Amino acid sequence: MINAVIAKVFGTANDRALKRILPIVQQVNSHEAALQSLTDEQLRDKTAEFRQRVAAAIEGIDPREDADALYAAEKAALDALLPEAFAVVREAGKRVVGMRHFDVQLIGGTILHQGKIAEMKTGEGKTLVATLPTYLNALASRGVHVVTVNDYLAKRDAEWMGKIYGFLGLTVGVIVHDLSDEQRRAAYASDITYGTNNEFGFDYLRDNMKFELSDMVQRGQYYCVVDEVDSILIDEARTPLIISGPTDQTTDKYVRVNVIIPELVLGELTETVDSKVYTGDFVIDEKARATTVTDEGWEKIEKLLEIGNIADPENWDLKHHVEVAIKAHHLYKRDVEYVVKDGEVIIVDEFTGRLMPGRRWSDGLHQSVEAKEGVNIRKEDQTLATITFQNYFRMYKKLSGMTGTAETEAAEFDKIYKLDIVVTPTNRQMLRIENPDVVFRTTKEKYFAVADEISRLHDLRQPVLVGTTSIEKSELLSDILKKKGVRHVVLNAKFHEKEAEIVAQAGRLGMVTIATNMAGRGTDILLGGNSDFMARQDLVRKQQARAVSAAEGAIQPVAGPGMFRFYYNNQEFECSQEAWDGAVASHEAAAKAEHQEVLAAGGLHILGTERHESRRVDNQLRGRAGRQGDPGASRFYLSLEDDLMRIFAREWVSSLLERLGMEEGVPIESGMISRRIEAAQKAVETQNFESRKHVLEYDDVMNKQREAVYGLRKQLMEGVDQKQLITEDYTSTIMSNILDETAPEKAHPDEWKSEALFDQIYDIFGARFTNGTDTPTALDLTTLSRHELGESIFDRLRARYDIKEQILGATAMRYHERIVMLSVLDGLWKDHLLAMDHLKEGIGLRGYAQQDPLVAYKKESFDMFEAMMMRFQEDTARHLFRMQIIGPDGQPIESAEQLAAAQAAQQQPPTIEGQLPELEAPRPTIPTKAPATTIDALEREFQKRKERELEQSRQASASATADESNTQRIAGERVGRNDKCPCGSGKKFKNCHGANA
Ligand code: ADP
């Protein structure tokens, strides 16, 4: 009650946010008249003028010294520029794409500039809204990213909105999956870059596997506008991005476990106030998507697998496999959670109904499903690089997003991303009629009623869009409609290539379209049909016919400058501007007339056949109708047998049935049921949020480590003083560790373990010291204090290092150091990621030991990371200090005298023994002999090698991506042993980042 009263007095938070934006909109409007009178040229000049103003505001601030001050100054300059800059974009929009931003779109643009989420209904023109903040923030010249849900939309939007940016003198790039590194670099160097979340994320990971700054494609994360932000930051955020390669593990266990699962009896769980009674061998909790094996069950499993106690540590692995296999058999259904296509198990996205080829469930689940389906079981992969979308997007200096449906997820956006949501008013009044739910007793009754209703609407020629929650259900409904003789199109995961085209026509007279959830998101449903799409279809058909004739030599294909480019079925086509305009015009008149007829029929009718787990997805479906003041209606048909009711409100439903005593075929319209369903949805949303939070909490632990490792890589590539790191920092840490162990501070010199001391130093630094006074490598342990001993060793090691540098030359030495450090670091990081995976798998078992698994994970992964970084220092020292330079007499050169002698005997040039800068982690135990060269020539050789490697990496990334052109890049990216390494080195993966996999 209070809320409503306060809201009245102060307005809601949303109203207040809007109120603050209104004066800004007025300011934008006040610039319009002046800008209208400018020539195109003068309008374009505004960009340079704005850029100068931003540059002036940040002049004198050193980005490396004071990044925060720089950002603050930049922000103030952009805020001040907003009204005029928005007005310039609006004027450009009017001139080049024929659309003048509506006032509500200016509001949306301002919200985006403020780093918030703009909730704008479907059809409000979010694509155009994005141009405002994108242009404004691009004036800072640091790169703006616009993220879309698929490649098709990235290309379409970049092309369409690119006209505005291009007109104003800004460059636009698109990142799609089949690009070479060079093309990617160019796209990222543009003022504005469009692309999908997967592309941006994978590029980030791949960049952090590179060896040269100049090979990296991205230039940081500055400002980002995420379209369909709920889909990307919430739905997709459940699976992290992973680049992985194969390991050598076997897959026998999956088969062994798989055969015993059908022998197990599914029981039931009866819960009373103070006890839980299980029957059978195992029970399933659909609500929690969990299984519990009973004691009898475990005994049976032990017998079937012919093993001892399943709880013994050596059987933990099998125990885990059994639990996962039960899930694979009983919770994961074919054609619902996954499909089997060409001998592969492909995940169906629960939200969009799309196939996700290449994406794999983790934790052995995918392999268990493969075993169940009897298809080839793929070996476990090991992670090479990984990040969650949450952590990727949190790197942006400023993040913003837009969608039609965000409010239900406000808590998550706030907690995880610190993103506020502001709901904008619609441009025209919303006329959609939202009818109350109709509820039936059984699924069967429901579907027949749905079919009857579709048939009725079809007779009235009102277009209907039917939403289903799975492929299976859309096919079931399609069968019923076929029997009734109602013409319809089915749009589900199996046809997703044509998604946009089909959805675009869903508003035509008498059209019936059955779609899984959010299929075709981002495509506008115009009542009466989309003439733009019809034009595309026509032109492509004509071109294809012409291509056939051309092949037969009948006509010459036309091509040349001034062509109009467009996309159809995700492919790019060209035609002359004239042909395009003609094709669109030929459909426009017909579409207009049909539009009137559809309006008279009541607009688009949305028919939901089940509630989705998330209210947001239901709202998406409803939002398809009633765009820009169009008439429209929506209604959901539900049954008490729907999953949501069955799983989350079973007892409630049965008691309701008793009270109501429903008759077969008679529906009930009940607000009570709708409310109960909404409560169930909220419960599932919370549960899903928890599971995403869980994924994130684990990634957060690794995130700090990833930042440290990637930060160090970056420093190395930027040319940090490596020599200082190696010969001072690392060497002194290693030395003090060795001394602590062999000559502890408290110990008397008599107790020093001199042999162990010298052995360990030899192991790491390759220098053999002895106890005594007679030779240059002797140390007199009887007279030296602990401190003097350390200093003396340290100085001599350093002198040895300097000799190497004198011989090789500083440039070559630095290059060699960098390559060694990067490859050592990458190798260790890869092993660390594998160890972390295992830790995570095993940590669930800690529950038994009364430990919070997350706390245990944090602690152990920290210890592992510390150990890894120590290992990094040692291995780096080992590789570099042990590299030997052999003099003309065949002896290693280790002192200034030897060097002088060697230089005097120039006719016999020295050879290097150790490792030349190879990209793989060098192994000190197998020294390779390089061909004899003079000192100067050696340096030239290094230089040439570097250039060659760079060239190879360029060619490799070009050909590697060409090979992949048919594979869809999704949240899991897998590298085969013989594939090119994703780092772009040009080597096979097994010889580069995949060595030792
Ligand atoms: P959303 O993503 O918000 O659902 P779209 O960006 O797909 O909407 O735009 C919906 C339609 O509205 C497009 O056909 C677009 O051309 C049109 N549109 C958007 N803004 C304007 C405008 N200011 N004037 C005229 N048409 C517009």
Domain boundary among 669, 690, 712: 669
Contact 88/111 with Cβ under 8 angstroms? no
Q: Please state the atom number of ligand 1 nearest to the C-alpha of residue 526.
A: 14
Pairing of strands 512-516, 489-491: parallel
Residue 589 confidence (pLDDT): 85
Q: Is 395 exposed, middle or buried, given 0-12, 13-18 or 19+ CB atoms closer than 10 A? A: middle
- 371 and 411 share one domain: no
Q: For residue 757, what are the CA distances in angstroms to 738, 752, 818?
A: 7, 8, 28
Residues in the chain: 997
Q: Which residue has the tokens 């009857």?
A: 452
Q: For residue 19, give every residue at least 6 positions away whose Cβ sits within 8 Å of its Cβ, in sequence order, or none.
A: 11
Q: Terminal CA-to-CA distance of the chain, rounded, Å?
A: 63
CATH of the domain at 861: 1.10.3060.10
State residue 356's pLDDT score: 77
Q: Which two tokens stand for residue 507?
A: 């508003």
Question: Is 386 annotated as contributing to ligand binding?
Answer: no
**How far does residue 121's CA lie from ligand 1's centre (Å)?**
11
More confident residue, 138 or 619: 138
Check whether 105 is labelled as a binding-site residue: yes
Highest-confidence segment of 83-87, 231-235, 728-732: 83-87
The answer to whether residue 9 scores a pLDDT higher than 60 is: no
What CATH number is given to the structural domain containing 448?
3.40.50.300
- Of the candidate ranges 292-301, 408-417, 781-790, 795-804, the one whose mean pLDDT is the lowest: 781-790
How remote is the CA of residue 145 from the centroid of ligand 1, in Å? Answer: 20
Q: What's the pLDDT score for residue 849? A: 59
3-state secondary structure of 626: coil
What would the mean pLDDT of 152-173 be, rounded to a whole number?
A: 93
Q: How far is the CA of 32 from the centre of ligand 1 (A)?
A: 21
For 700, the enclosing helix (H) or strand (E) is: helix 671-718
CA proximity to 236, closest of 64, 364, 409? 409
pLDDT tens-digit profile of 534-556? 888 888 888 777 776 555 444 33
CA of 627 to the centre of ligand 1 (A): 10
Phi-psi region of 767 (alpha: psi -120 to 50; beta: other; left: phi over 0): beta
Ranges 240-244, 293-297, 772-776: which has the least confidence: 772-776
Which residue lies with its CA nearest to atom 13 of ligand 1? Answer: 125
In-domain check, residue 553: yes
Q: What is the mean pLDDT of the chain?
A: 82
Sorted by sequence, the CB contacts under 8 Å of residue 403 that are 6+ apart come out as 117, 119, 120, 126, 227, 228, 229, 230, 231
Nearest CA to ligand 1 atom 5: 125
771 with 872, same domain: the answer is yes
By alpha-carbon position, which residue is closest to atom 17 of ligand 1? 125
**The two three-digit tokens of residue 113, written as one number:** 């500039």
125 annotated as a binding-site residue: yes
Q: What is the DSSP-derived secondary structure letter of residue 923?
A: -
Closest atom of ligand 1 relative to the 123 alpha carbon? 4
Q: How far apart are CA 371 and CA 261, in angstroms?
A: 11
Least confident of 70-74, 493-497, 830-834: 493-497
What contacts 625, CB < 8 A, 6 or more positions away?
432, 465, 525, 603, 604, 605, 606, 632, 633, 634
Residues 154 and 195 sit within 8 Å (Cβ to Cβ): yes
Residue 956 lies in a domain: no
Quote the tokens at residue 780: 């007199």
Distance of CA 123 from the midpoint of ligand 1 (Å): 6
Domain boundary among 669, 691, 720: 669
| Protein residues with CB under 6 Å of any ligand 1 atom | 99-102, 105, 120, 122-128, 524
Q: Which atom of ligand 1 is nearest to the CA of 100?
A: 23
What is the rounded distance in angstroms from the CA atom of residue 663 to the CA atom of residue 660?
A: 9
Tell me how far apart the alpha carbons of residues 148 and 53 are, in angstroms, rounded to a whole number: 31
For residues 588 and 560, state if they share a domain. Answer: yes
- Taking the C-alpha atoms of residue 527 and residue 596, their distance in angstroms, rounded to an integer, is 8
CATH number, domain at 343? 3.90.1440.10
What's the pLDDT at 662? 61
Q: Which of 95, 228, 428, 524 to mutate to test the pocket of ligand 1 (most atoms within 8 A of CB)?
A: 524
Is position 361 within any domain?
Answer: yes
- Taking the centre of ligand 1 as the mean of its atom positions, its distance from the CA of residue 772, in whole angstroms, is 86
Q: Looking at the predicted structure, is the pLDDT value of residue 81 above 90?
A: yes
Q: Does the annotation list 127 as a binding residue?
A: yes
Mutate to test the pocket of ligand 1, among 117, 128, 428 (most ligand atoms within 8 A of CB): 128
From atom 22 of ligand 1, which residue's Cα is the shortest distance away? 99
Whose Cα sits closest to atom 25 in ligand 1? 99
Residue 447, domain member (yes or no) = yes
**Cβ-based burial of 835 (10 A; exposed 0-12, middle 13-18, buried ≥19):** middle
Supply the residue whose CA is at minimum distance from atom 20 of ligand 1: 125
- Give yes or no: residues 165 and 276 share one domain: no
Query: Which residue from 97, 99, 194, 226 has its CB within 8 A of the most atoms of ligand 1, so it is best to mutate?
Result: 99
Say if CB 134 and CB 192 are below 8 A apart: yes
Nearest atom (ligand 1) to Cα of 126: 3
**Residues 170, 129 within the same domain:** yes
Q: Do residues 881 and 734 make contact, with C-beta atoms less than 8 angstroms apart? A: no
Cα of 600 from ligand 1 centre, angstroms: 23
Are residues 419 and 437 located together in one domain of the fold? no
Give 295 or 907, the one with higher predicted confidence. 295
Q: Which residues contact residue 57 at a Cβ distance below 8 angstroms, ignoring those fewer than 6 apart? A: 73, 74, 76, 77
Q: Contact, 722 vs 817, CB < 8 A?
A: yes
Give the pLDDT confidence of 623-642 residue by residue, as tens digits. Answer: 888 888 889 999 999 888 88
| Number of domains within the chain | 5
What is the 128 CA–ligand 1 centroid distance (Å)? 7
pLDDT value for 413? 94
> Quick one: 644 and 707 in the same domain?
no
Instruction: Look at the alpha carbons of 704, 706, 712, 714 in this order and tell me if their dihedral is positive or negative.
Output: negative
Residue nearest to atom 14 of ligand 1 (CA): 524
Q: Find all residues with CB under 8 Å of 759, minimum gap 6, and list them.
A: none
Please name which of 467, 627, 635, 630 lies closest in space to residue 121, comparing C-alpha atoms: 627
Atom in ligand 1 nearest the alpha carbon of residue 524: 7
Please name the residues in contact with 3: beta carbons below 8 A apart, sequence gap of 6 or more. Answer: none
Q: How many CB atoms lie within 10 A of CB 50?
A: 22
Instruction: Dump strand ranges (E) for 761-826.
Output: 770-771, 778-779
Would you place residue 322 in the very low, low, confident or very high pLDDT band (cuts 50, 70, 90)? very high
Q: Is residue 131 part of a domain?
A: yes
Here the tokens at position 977 are 């042993």
Q: Is residue 935 part of a domain?
A: no
H or E segment and range at residue 145: strand 144-148
Q: Is the pLDDT of residue 122 over 60?
A: yes
Q: CA-based Rg of the chain, rounded to a whole angstrom?
A: 33
Domain that holds residue 827: 702-928
Q: Which is more confidently placed, 220 or 285? A: 220
Q: Does a structural domain hold residue 233?
A: yes
Res 927 pLDDT > 50: no
Q: Say if residue 348 is in the same domain as residue 441.
A: no
Among candidate residues 928, 947, 977, the one where a domain is terminated? 928
Q: Which of 442-451, 613-622, 746-755, 834-843 has the lowest mean pLDDT?
A: 834-843
Do 155 and 286 fall within a single domain?
no
Same domain, 628 and 764: no
Residue 900 has pLDDT above 60, yes or no: yes
SS3 content of the chain, % helix, strand, coil (to 5): 55, 15, 30
Give the residue whose CA is nearest to atom 16 of ligand 1.
125
Q: Is 126 annotated among the ligand-binding residues?
A: yes
Q: If you measure from the C-alpha of residue 598 to the centroid of ligand 1, how many angstroms do you get, rounded to a whole number? A: 19
pLDDT, residue 248, reads: 58
Task: Tell me, yes or no, whether 803 and 848 share the same domain.
Answer: yes
Same domain, 76 and 152: yes
Scanning 310-374, the segments in alpha helix (DSSP H) are 316-330, 365-373
Helix (H, G, I), strand (E, B) or coil at 408: helix
Which three-class secondary structure string do you get for 228-253? Answer: CHHHHHHHHHHCCEEEEEECCCCCHH
DSSP state of 628: G
Question: Residue 885 forms beta bridges with which residues?
Answer: 912
Q: Are 227 and 124 in contact (CB under 8 A)?
A: no
224 alpha carbon to ligand 1 midpoint, in Å?
21
Q: Read off the pLDDT of residues 942-970 as tens digits, 9 standing for 90 and up.
A: 445 445 544 444 443 333 333 222 222 23
